[in-house]
Amino acid sequence: MYSIIIDPPDDLGAFRSAARRLLAARIDPADVTWTDCPDAALFQDVPPDAERIAAVPRAFVELAQAVACHRDESRWALLYQLLWRLVAGERTLMDQPSDTLVHRLQRMAASVRRDRHRMTAFVRFRIVEAEDGPCSVAWYEPQHRILRRVTPFFIDRFASLRFAVLTPDLSVHWDRRAVRYAPGLSRSAAPPADDVEDWWKRYYCATFNPARANAKLLDSHMPKRFRRDLPEADSIRDLLSNAGSRTDGMIGRQPR
């Protein structure tokens, strides 16, 4: 039995390197355990690449990039099982969504992609004054370990700003020149509200259209578990509860 440590736990490169060695040594998936625990026994006995491994479909690479961020502890074992079958000759396996293993991994990848989309939509920055100037700081709790994957999005959008995104797993800092990762932080590290936040809440309420209010649709796009970190969430209940009367009032007014 071989024990493979993946540290950090979302390191797809470490998985790729270990999987290549395992495949070269023809180690069956049943003989491998995968762990994120640094205290586990380190994998050292399998020799380095003994032969060239057949190229895997691009669809597998894209799937693995997403699944690597999932919190399911079995993610690496499942990916290796899929890789084992692909290399063993099931070259069209990625085109068979009805396969139990493929279906499970695709569902995991979809969950990660949804989480990435929500993070890019729900992160709210607050301005913090520091000795070297203002910095925009946000605290967010994603469902999966996606911070490294969404960092390029924030840099592309806010390249000219100094910012930090804090999560329980990991934190990222951008100083307009380089990215630096640091340990995760708890919710208590979230910065207090600022003047921009008050302005944003007023803007959100002013642009809310009561005639288009749809509580069910809102819950599907903005699940309640994410609202605790959104400043505008405090106003949502009142806006929805008054939407009907405001709409009736708008309809009842005669145009001048």
pTM: 0.83
Locate 130 and state its tokens.
């520091």
- The pLDDT of residue 210: 86
Structural domain spans, the chain = 2-116, 123-189, 195-252
**CB proximity list for 7: less than 8 A, separation 6 or greater:** 14, 36, 38
Locate 67 and state its tokens.
């699944």
Instruction: Name the helix (H) or strand (E) containing 32.
Output: strand 32-35
- Please tell me whether residue 60 adopts helix, strand or coil conformation: helix
- The pLDDT of residue 179: 96
Angle at CA 144, nearest 5°, toward 118 and 154? 50
CA 146/CA 117 separation, integer angstroms:
10
Angle at CA 6, nearest 5°, toward 92 and 109? 40
- The pLDDT of residue 44: 46
Helix %, strand %, coil % of the chain (to 5): 50, 15, 40
Instruction: Name the helix (H) or strand (E) containing 255.
Output: none
Q: Which of 69, 80, 105, 78 is nearest to 19 (CA)?
A: 80
- The pLDDT of residue 47: 47
* Residue-level pLDDT, tens digit, the chain, 256 residues: 888 999 999 999 999 999 999 999 999 999 999 998 766 554 445 545 545 566 789 999 999 999 999 999 999 999 999 999 999 989 899 999 999 999 999 999 999 999 999 999 999 999 998 888 899 999 999 999 999 999 999 999 999 999 999 999 999 999 999 999 999 999 999 888 888 888 888 888 888 888 888 888 887 777 777 777 788 877 888 888 888 888 877 777 766 6
| CB of 31 closer than 8 Å to CB of 1 | yes
- The pLDDT of residue 254: 64
Locate 75 and state its tokens.
């993610």
Surface-to-core class of residue 55, CB atoms within 10 Å of its CB (0-12 exposed, 13-18 middle, 19+ buried):
exposed
**Which residue is it, tokens 């009736």?**
248
CA distances from 56 to 66, 76, 193, 234 (A): 16, 16, 49, 49
Report the Cα–Cα distance between both ends of the chain, in Å, rounded: 82
- The pLDDT of residue 107: 98
